[in-house]
Structure 1
Amino acid sequence: MTIQRMDNVGIVVDDLEAATAFFLELGLELEGEAQVGGPGVDRLVGLDGVRCDLAVVRTPDGHGRLELMKFQSPAATTAEPNAPTNALGIRRIMFAVEDIEDVLTRLRAHGAELMGELERYEDSHRLCYIRGPEGIIIALAEKIN
Structure 2
Amino acid sequence: MSSDLCPVYAPFFSAMGSTCAIAFTCIGASYGTAKSGVGVAAMSVLRPDQMMKCVVPVVMAGIIAIYGLVVSVLITSDLSLQMSLAQGFIQLGAGLAVGLAGLSAGFAIGIVGDAGVRGTAQQPRLFVGMILILIFAEVLGLYGLIVALVMNSKSQDMKSACF
Is TM more than 0.5 here?
Answer: no
Q: Structure 2 length as normaliser, TM-score?
A: 0.23
Name the structure where strand makes up a greater proportion of residues.
1
Question: Which structure is richer in relative contact order (CA contacts within 8 A, separation 6 or more)?
Answer: 2
Q: Structure 1 length as normaliser, TM-score?
A: 0.25
Name the structure where helix makes up a greater proportion of residues.
2
